[in-house]
Structure 1
Amino acid sequence: VQPLAPDLQRYSVHIKVLRGSDLMSADANGFSDPYCEVHVWTVDTSSANDVHHMWRTKTCFVTLNPTWEQENDWSHAPLPSERAVLYVACFDWDRIGADDFLG
Structure 2
Amino acid sequence: MKKIMNEQLIYEILSVVEEIPEGKVATYGQIASLIGRDKNARLVGKVLSQAEFYGRYPCHRVVNYAGRLVPGWQEQRFLLLEEGVSFKDANHVDMKKNKWEC
TM-score w.r.t. the length of structure 2 is 0.31
If asked which structure has higher relative contact order (CA below 8 Å, sep 6+), I would say: 1
Name the one with the larger strand percent. Answer: 1
TM-score by length of 1: 0.31
